[in-house]
Structures are given as C-alpha cells and as structure tokens.
Amino acid sequence: MRHLIDPLDLSKPETEQLLALAERIRSDPAAYQEVAVHKKLATLFYEPSTRTRLSFEAAMLNLGGHVLGFPSEIVSSATKGESVADTIRVISCYADIVAMRHPKEGAPLRASRYAKVPVINAGDGGHQHPTQTLTDLMTIRTRKGRLNGLTIGLCGDLKFGRTVHSLIKTMARYENVRFVLISPEELRVPDYIIKDVLLAGHIPFTETRSLEDAMPSLDILYMTRVQKERFFNEEDYIRLKNSYILTEEKLQKAKPDLAVLHPLPRVNEIALDVDDDPRAAYFEQVQNGVYVRMALMMLLLGLTDPKTEKKVALC
C-alpha cells in the first residue's frame, strides 16, 4: 500500500503521471463524477485549514465518494490523550483513505506505519506539504508549459514554510532549475534543505535579502506568509511580518510572463492590486488543488479512469 508523506514518495514519472491525470480531469470533470462511488475519505485535521481540507473534501465529493472527519483537534479524542497511532487504527475501520494535517513534524509518517489504508500528509508542522506542491507543479506547468529550465524565486518565510521545503525538494529533480531564496536572515531555508537537497544535488541557488534585486531574473515568484503560529515569541513575528510586500510597482521590474504563486492564506505579503495582474496565478492554484487531489486519491485507491477504462495505479 502506498502513502504520500514526503513529496519524493512519488517518483518523477509518477508525479508526471499524476499531473497528466489531473489535467485530464480538469479538461472534463463531469466524466469523473462516479469514479469513487462508495469510497470514503477521512480528513483528520489537528491544525487549522481552509484550502487543503475543503479541497480534499471537494475532490472526493467530485469523484462521487463520501467524506467524514474532524476539522480541529479539540473536537477529537486527541484532547483526551488518544495517540495518533491509536486514532489511525480506528479510522482505518471507517474510511478507505485518510488526509492528515498535524502540527507535529512526522505525525502523518507515524500514522502511515499503523494505517490499514493510504495516508496523505496534508501538512506536518514546518516540515512538508506534498499535495500543495502537486498543486504548485500543475499551476507552473499550465502557465509555463514546462517544469524544466526555470528560475524560481521563493520569498518570505523560507524557514517555517513547509510548502517551500516540499517545492524545492520536488523542483530540484527537474533539469536546469535555479533557485533564488529571498528571506530575512532569521527566516532562511533550513540547513538540511540547503545541504541535503541543493548542495548534494549540485542545484544552482543564490540567497538574497532583496526582492527587488531578484525580480528581473525570475520565471516564477513564490510568495509566502510569515508563519505566525510557528514563532516562539510575538516580538520576533511583529518585527519580521512585513519583510516583503509584493506590489504592482515592484512587478514593473519583472518579466512579462512571470507567474506569481502563493500557497495562501495571504496576510499582507501580496498587495490587493496585484490580484488583477495577469501574472497573478494564486487563485488558479486553488482550483488546480482540487484536480491534483482527485488524481492523487484515484491513484492511491487504484480507481478506474473513465477516459481510458483502465485502473490507474502508481507506476
């Protein structure tokens, strides 16, 4: 049985296979509306979410299946002291597949070791967020027509931003990709990503404090929120929260075909006037998030693709 805990749990061909399926779904969603009849998704969210939980639920409903779960730790028996291991053994009796978000890094991995059904990491602490990365990849491929040969700027909270960590790990597998890491000193990409992914893979990257200096070279600009919930003290958060604010004025130095991504939620790091710029792609990301989650659940459950009339399975 396959789980998705880390973005590299999917090989590069499997990632391509998933994106191709998501694109088929996007081109004809009605064809997929009975693919998962009688299947049940459990969403176990120990941490707040709008997009990830609801897009998983929308994805299963779009496939004709059912959803159950809890949106917060406080309405679950975790508040009585139940462990993740016990909870997942219980939920395995109720559902065919599980999406779990947890504030503790590694909690979905632990769950997968006790589960009798596929477990998907829907975000674990400041660690990884693999399904956001699939969303990002689909959006980049749609906008740029490729995943190779891109200069990708990541800006903001690169320390705690789990979407950043997953995106770097995944995009580092593509040819001629270059990263520009734009952050305050305190919010730099963690050393393990620098050493184990970028340096070990001989991936070109630069670090800078200046969004303005980086802007002209970028094909993709991935903005992120400063992750208030991961700071130990509020003073540091207040000092750093306005480090980068993308405006239309700053975009004047950017390429005309730049794509601006953001995993959302946004606080103030992208000014509202950018929303009307054709380079803003963050609400497309939201829509693509539903298609990649439909494709992922089809692959993990081995469902039949009505377009090919064959069962899909990870290769």
Residues that bind ligand CP (CB under 6 A): 49-52, 123, 132, 263-265
* Token pair 């989650």 in the structure block, residue: 293
Closer residue to ligand CP, CB minimum distance, 24 or 51: 51
Closer residue to ligand CP, CB minimum distance, 70 or 205: 70
CB of 132 to ligand CP, least distance (A): 5
CB of 74 to ligand CP, least distance (A): 17
Closer residue to ligand CP, CB minimum distance, 17 or 52: 52
Catalytic, out of 3, 110, 129, 225: 129
Active site residue 15: no
Catalytic, out of 43, 52, 133, 163: 52
Catalytic, out of 40, 101, 143, 162: 101
Active site residue 101: yes
Nearest to 114 by CA among 103, 125, 127, 100: 100
Active site residue 129: yes
Closer residue to ligand CP, CB minimum distance, 11 or 50: 50
Catalytic, out of 39, 51, 169, 225: 51
CB of 47 to ligand CP, least distance (A): 8
Cα dihedral value 89, 95, 100, 104, nearest 10:
-10
CB of 50 to ligand CP, least distance (A): 4
Nearest to 49 by CA among 289, 294, 291: 289
> What Rg value do the Cα atoms of the chain yield, rounded?
19
Closer residue to ligand CP, CB minimum distance, 87 or 133: 133
CB of 34 to ligand CP, least distance (A): 27
Rounded to an integer, what is the distance from CA 2 to the centroid of its chain?
A: 18
List, by residue number, the catalytic residues. Answer: 51-52, 80, 101, 129
